[in-house]
Amino acid sequence: MLVSDRLKRLLKLVPGARRFGFYRFLPFFFVLGGAMEWFMINVRIGEETFYDVYRRKRSERLYEARMEKGE
């Protein structure tokens, strides 16, 4: 219960409760989404970023589909 009470108190500190209700937290989610996107594009783990892996897998799937068609 102690953690729950602290969390409630912390959430009440965010302004705009009467006017925006639950939607007052949307800016935090936008910032979090932007930070995740930036991380996935710019931060290399090993030698690849998330999008390098995505593009490679996509091209592999397209190549396999072409080979199945017989092109």
Tell me, letter by letter, the H, E, C secondary structure of 4-24: HHHHHHHHHCCCCHHHHHHHH
- 12/53 Cα distance (integer angstroms): 41
> The domain containing residue 64 runs over which residues?
8-69
Which residues fall within 8 angstroms of residue 33, CB to CB, at 6 or more apart? none
pLDDT at 39: 93
pLDDT at 27: 92
Average pLDDT for consecutive 10-residue bins of the chain (71 residues)? 85 88 92 95 90 93 92 64
Residue at 3 is within a domain: no
pLDDT at 71: 64
pLDDT at 55: 92
Residue at 52 is within a domain: yes
Residue at 41 is within a domain: yes
Residue at 1 is within a domain: no
Total of domains in the chain: 1
pLDDT at 17: 86
